[in-house]
Structure 1
Amino acid sequence: MTNEMLVKPADADWPMYRRTYNGWGHSPLKQITTENVAKLKPAWMMSTGYSEGHEAPPTVVNGIMFTATAGNQILAIKADTGEILWRYKRELPADMLGSHPTNRGVALLGDKVFWMSRDSVLVALDAKSGAEAWTVPVQDYRQGYYANLAPLIVEDKVVVGTSGGERGIRGYIVAFDTETGKETWRTFIVPEPGQPGSETWPQPGDEHADAWKTGGGSSWITGQYDPESKLIYWGTGNGGPWMGDQRPGDNLYLTSVVALAADTGEIKGHFQYHPNDSFDWDEVAAPILVDLKRDGNSVPGLVHASRSGVLWMLERTDDGPIKFIKGTPYVHETWIKSMDPQTGRVEYNEGTKPGTGVVGEFCPSFWGGKDWPPIAYNPDLNYVFIPANENMCTTMQGGSVIDYRAGASYTLGTQGNRSDLYIVDGADHIGEVQAWDLNTGEKVWTHTFESQNWGPLLSTAGGLVFGGGTNDSKFHAYDAKTGDVLWEMKLNSGVIGVPSSFEAGGKQYVAVQAGWGIDAASMQTRLSAAYPDRFKPSATVPTGGVIWVFELAE
């Protein structure tokens, strides 16, 4: 795998998290079409040996599949037969905390496979044997840092971020040399005093002057890369603690997209989706890179379906600054009082923003209109597809002020806190898959589910959109033009994995990991407690990780 192959992948391959640097999640393969997808059947399936949430895409190059699973392991597999070539598993420290026990994939370059172990250690493996080439600690897990994202290869660097925004970390994005593992740059999402953006945090002498030290800003989903401008685009997470009145100011660069210089990591531009985040709205999913219309001209764009429920259209520039084009709610929202037509800055409706001892009631819920599951884009239709959760809201209140303790929860406080999930009165569904036409900026179709939807999406040149995410454990194929379900199959477990498509031996395959858990299961638990007549307990959704690979029947 070379840098040139990453910039322009072979049609048959799926070599990185979303296949291409622009993040489209689109396969140019079109052997499987709207006309024949009803003949899709399992080619092979394999148990991973673990039952927690499985979220990584099956990554495939030259007929070899590399995929990460729950259980802190990587598998190398013959992609057309399911034969295991090697298995690598890294044991976790005995004192490692257990939150979000998942992994979202690997990266490939040369003869190496790159992967983040959950204890915040970057691992480089020999692609043929699975033997360790090198490992490097990225951060001390005892301080609340952990990792579960797929790395991003940018020329001779492997770039990663961190989880732990719920534990009072100070988030960062960091690059390492792919050959040696030597750190080349590290950019903190929360600036220290004197750095650009620090003026948006409490100043020296203020009551909360040290808030930047525990300010959050995790970066736990893989970014995108523009090889022409040599800029990396990365989404950033929520603040720590959750209540923004304990860290007054806009709090850059939380809940933003940042543009980073690939050679130095310097922040060259940013756009903040909502200032002084108090809603737990991580905006870690990086926007896709796609051309957009602005003032009658085509401009390099960024498109992001935010956790706060807004479909953002932004303009990216060669030197870094990011300009606002348009923001359109894609689910029911109550928090926006106004949006500046020039800058996109939002003002909050009164009573929606929670605080310390202050109730806020807002829609969408703290899980958002869309959480981490990625959108997909079809360049032939110029449609973007969103896995959404509609009609869900939250009543939240921060409790007593939190005393920071390394590695401990740093979210709502203790005495007097609340976080209630509820459904809009009269709503008959939650989950949706939406299609938006980027030519017009309008929604063209919606497919609904009574269940919530946590299903990452895959677009293909065969006119299809694939995704799971519902509590009935089904994996679906939609008509990209109409949203009609053309094929579906009930799998062993709920499907919250990122789907991919590849070709081997002249045949197109669709692959996905099934394995219910993590926030999808947590949402099910909350819904069943609040609405027992409508939602069964999460335990009724089967667990168990299985890699599924589908082909057309002969």
Structure 2
Amino acid sequence: MKHSGLKPFAVTALCAAIALSSLSAWAVTDEDILNDARTPGDVVTNGLGLKGQRYSTLDTLNSENVTQLRPVWGFSLGGEKQRGQESQPMVKDGVMYVTGSYSRVYAIDARTGEELWQYDARLPDGIMPCCDVINRGVALYDGLVIFGTLDAKLVALDKDTGKVVWKKTVADYKAGYSITAAPLIVKGKLITGVSGGEFGVVGKIEAYDPKNGELLWTRPTVEGHMGYVMKDGKKVENGISGGQAGKTWPGDLWKTGGAAPWLGGYYDPDTDSLLFGTGNPSPWNSHLRPGDNLYSSSRLALDPDDGSIKWHFQSTPHDGWDFDGVNELISFDYQQDGKTIQAAATADRNGFFYVLDRTNGKFIRGFPFVDKLTWAKGLDENGRPIYDGNNRPGAPGEADKGNSVFVAPSFLGGKNWMPMAYSQDTGLFYVPSNEWGMDIWNEEVAYKKGAAYLGAGFTIKPLNEDYIGVLRAIDPKTGKEVWRYQNYAPLWGGVLATKGNLVFTGNPEGYLMAFDAKTGEKLYQFNTGSGVIGSPVTWEMDGEQYVSVLSGWGGAVPLWGGEVAKRVKAFNQGGTVWTFKLPKEAVAAR
């Protein structure tokens, strides 16, 4: 383990005193976490609130003055591990916490950009992350900074020093498990999922005691596996995960069924529900596993007290394209016929945008949000896809591979992991999406622990010469695309919306960009020096509004992107936290 401890600041004594006092001051509480969306002085949740809307009530920075936004500091993650920086920064009492590739954590003075401490996980040689060595952020609770590692551990660090308080093994990395998502704190519980669907793992969502790492409950996400609650040090079975072994899986395939909830989840206080998505069924070759293959490629509502499943909605039953279902399910309310509808929305990798009743998971409406969608002819009245049989890759039979088909979107999705934002002012979702397709074929495959378990091959291709990425403003009540911004390279970073009529996101070309939330006009851009695939945040400190984003190209696109990867092969990797604010004269001129 590398641990650098506290470093002396090359700043004034006053700044040093402020930084040190803030280090010893905070203890994030359950109330702080519940109120995060309403307290813009800090960012203590992944998603700027437990619902994950990524909306800020701050408007000092707005569409009228954003052109004057200036960088105030940049912090390099350092070393040679400059790839795939997908983290969302957290900020508490003047200290920023951010993760880097290869399971690293940094504490940074948010006023000056000076490093306070750094923690590097000691990773074994045999880690097996499918889609780059990324990490998407930390959880803050009490006096701890908690994150997951590429060898499937949870690590809790002291907020002042970065020293390990406790460490817990969640799963066996030798079987293909890892953790890449930011953990979630709900009702005093630390909630995490796991990654590893390409290795035939069994997905699971679990709750731990954030103060000591003790397991509280576990909920497998493949039908047939038992969940349980820990009581007095003993396992108390909490029912099979909503079904029976083999019911929607043939034979013993449920034992290696995938369905990893690798992106983590959010929480809806209105219904007291954890909202998680699950990944692809294993293997990719769908002819080997007839049936719906629950609970893969689904959205789940779980009881945070014991992990029991309240409801599920499967976006791609019997998934044969690796469309997953992990994309974030965002709670929001809207008015219809004088009534408030408690809804939740998700933009799926399969190219459909879904609006659900979050009280029961019932389908309200769905519509394509990409320009080209070929694997299905539409959705039925329950939101189930109407498959086009000609666009499912064929079974291998006696040959080395089955017949290849061209399908849009590609398995990297109409939208992948990169989180969308919802504006409470416009009522629109701002969706980072991509226009690409794939040639895909099936092959024979058998499960072997720790080996790739796909049974498929693919080549991803762009659908247009001049753009792949599309930032879309979507009305969830009508399905209308209100505006779009087209980007030459794929979009792979998160989105932020603010009350200042702004939408922020980044692109692989290296730009942090700001758009008018109502019209889509690009108002601002700043080149960070490497691709932006992190999620921007904004907060208020010392009476001023700040914006921060992590820059560093990598992730799944250059690893899996086929013909698309050729478009981005010249992009430089990196690892820098950039922080911006308005000059004081620009604020005074308001």
TM-score range, shorter chain: over 0.9
Shift of the alpha carbon at 1:296? Answer: 6.0
In structure 2, the partner of 1:51 is 82
* 8 Å CA contact retained: 2:468, 2:490: yes
Give the letter aligned to residue 17 of structure 1.
Answer: N
Matched, 1:335 2:335: no
Give the distance between the partners of 1:67 and 1:430, measured in 2 at CA. 29
* 8 Å CA contact retained: 1:238, 1:255: yes
Give the distance between the partners of 1:405 and 1:432, measured in 2 at CA. 39
Deviations 1:13-33 (A, max 9, x none): 111110101110111111111
Matched, 1:438 2:476: yes
Gaps in structure 2 of 5+ consecutive residues: 1-27, 226-238, 397-401, 585-590
Shift of the alpha carbon at 1:200? Answer: 8.6
Shift of the alpha carbon at 1:447? Answer: 0.9
In structure 1, the partner of 2:345 is 303
1:405 to 439, 444, 448: 448
Matched, 1:266 2:308: yes
Give the distance between the partners of 1:421 and 1:449, measured in 2 at CA. 17
Give the letter aligned to residue 182 of structure 1.
Answer: E
In structure 2, the partner of 1:312 is 354
Give the letter aligned to residue 544 of structure 1.
Answer: G
Give the distance between the partners of 2:565 and 2:301, measured in 1 at CA. 40
Give the distance between the partners of 2:129 and 2:146, measured in 1 at CA. 22
The 1:294–1:283 alpha-carbon spacing in structure 2 relative to 1, beyond 3 Å, is: farther
| Aligned residue runs from structure 1 range 535-554, under 5 A | 535=567, 538=569, 540-554=570-584
Matched, 1:466 2:504: yes
Matched, 1:240 2:282: yes
In structure 1, the partner of 2:47 is 18
Deviations 1:471-523 (A, max 9, x none): x2111111111111100011110000111111111111110110001213235
* Aligned sequence identity (%): 37
Shift of the alpha carbon at 1:298? Answer: 2.1
2:346 aligned counterpart, secondary structure: strand
Give the distance between the partners of 2:524 and 2:146, measured in 1 at CA. 34
Matched, 1:167 2:199: yes
In structure 1, the partner of 2:20 is none
Higher mean alpha-carbon deviation, 172-181 vs 191-200, is at 191-200
Give the distance between the partners of 2:325 and 2:577, measured in 1 at CA. 28
Matched, 1:346 2:385: yes
Shift of the alpha carbon at 1:215? Answer: 0.6
Matched, 1:71 2:110: no
Give the letter aligned to residue 254 of structure 1.
Answer: S
Give the distance between the partners of 2:46 and 2:292, measured in 1 at CA. 31
Give the distance between the partners of 1:523 and 1:296, measured in 2 at CA. 47
* 8 Å CA contact retained: 1:201, 1:250: no
Give the distance between the partners of 1:112 and 1:176, measured in 2 at CA. 14
Shift of the alpha carbon at 1:175? Answer: 0.6
Give the distance between the partners of 1:229 and 1:398, measured in 2 at CA. 41
Matched, 1:394 2:438: yes
Give the distance between the partners of 1:81 and 1:479, measured in 2 at CA. 29
Give the distance between the partners of 2:247 and 2:284, measured in 1 at CA. 16
In structure 2, the partner of 1:532 is none
Shift of the alpha carbon at 1:294? Answer: 5.7
Give the distance between the partners of 2:317 and 2:64, measured in 1 at CA. 47
Higher mean alpha-carbon deviation, 504-513 vs 192-201, is at 192-201
* 8 Å CA contact retained: 1:202, 1:247: no
Shift of the alpha carbon at 1:449? Answer: 1.5
Give the distance between the partners of 1:528 and 1:521, measured in 2 at CA. 5
2:555 to 518, 522, 526: 518
In structure 2, the partner of 1:210 is 252
Deviations 1:148-199 (A, max 9, x none): 1100001121000111000010100011011221101110010227935545
Give the distance between the partners of 2:373 and 2:298, measured in 1 at CA. 19
1:38 aligned counterpart, secondary structure: helix
Give the distance between the partners of 1:135 and 1:196, measured in 2 at CA. 27
Give the letter aligned to residue 52 of structure 1.
Answer: R
1:60 aligned counterpart, secondary structure: strand
| Aligned residue runs from structure 1 range 52-131, under 5 A | 52-97=83-128, 99=130, 100-131=132-163
Shift of the alpha carbon at 1:70? Answer: 0.9
* 8 Å CA contact retained: 2:223, 2:293: no
The 1:98–1:363 alpha-carbon spacing in structure 2 relative to 1, beyond 3 Å, is: closer
* 8 Å CA contact retained: 2:558, 2:565: no
In structure 2, the partner of 1:504 is 541
* 8 Å CA contact retained: 1:197, 1:252: no
Give the distance between the partners of 1:524 and 1:256, measured in 2 at CA. 24
In structure 1, the partner of 2:361 is 322
Give the distance between the partners of 2:62 and 2:375, measured in 1 at CA. 41
In structure 2, the partner of 1:42 is 71
Shift of the alpha carbon at 1:528? Answer: 5.1
Give the letter aligned to residue 384 of structure 1.
Answer: F
Deviations 1:329-357 (A, max 9, x none): 0002112224222x111121121122432
Give the distance between the partners of 1:136 and 1:170, measured in 2 at CA. 19
2:564 aligned counterpart, secondary structure: helix
1:322 aligned counterpart, secondary structure: coil
1:450 to 463, 483, 488: 488
Shift of the alpha carbon at 1:293? Answer: 4.8
Give the distance between the partners of 1:516 and 1:429, measured in 2 at CA. 18
Give the letter aligned to residue 387 of structure 1.
Answer: P
Higher mean alpha-carbon deviation, 25-34 vs 164-173, is at 25-34
1:141 to 163, 166, 173: 173
In structure 1, the partner of 2:319 is 277
In structure 2, the partner of 1:383 is 428
Give the distance between the partners of 1:291 and 1:284, measured in 2 at CA. 22
Matched, 1:220 2:262: yes
* 8 Å CA contact retained: 1:202, 1:211: no
The 1:189–1:273 alpha-carbon spacing in structure 2 relative to 1, beyond 3 Å, is: same
2:391 aligned counterpart, secondary structure: coil
Higher mean alpha-carbon deviation, 432-441 vs 168-177, is at 432-441
1:351 aligned counterpart, secondary structure: helix
1:271 aligned counterpart, secondary structure: strand
2:389 aligned counterpart, secondary structure: coil
Give the distance between the partners of 1:365 and 1:180, measured in 2 at CA. 42
In structure 2, the partner of 1:287 is 329
Shift of the alpha carbon at 1:125? Answer: 1.3
The number of equivalent residue pairs is 532
Shift of the alpha carbon at 1:445? Answer: 0.4
Output the aligned Cα RMSD.
Answer: 1.8
The 1:364–1:295 alpha-carbon spacing in structure 2 relative to 1, beyond 3 Å, is: farther
In structure 1, the partner of 2:216 is 184
With structure 2 as the length reference, what TM-score do the two structures score? 0.87
1:245 aligned counterpart, secondary structure: helix
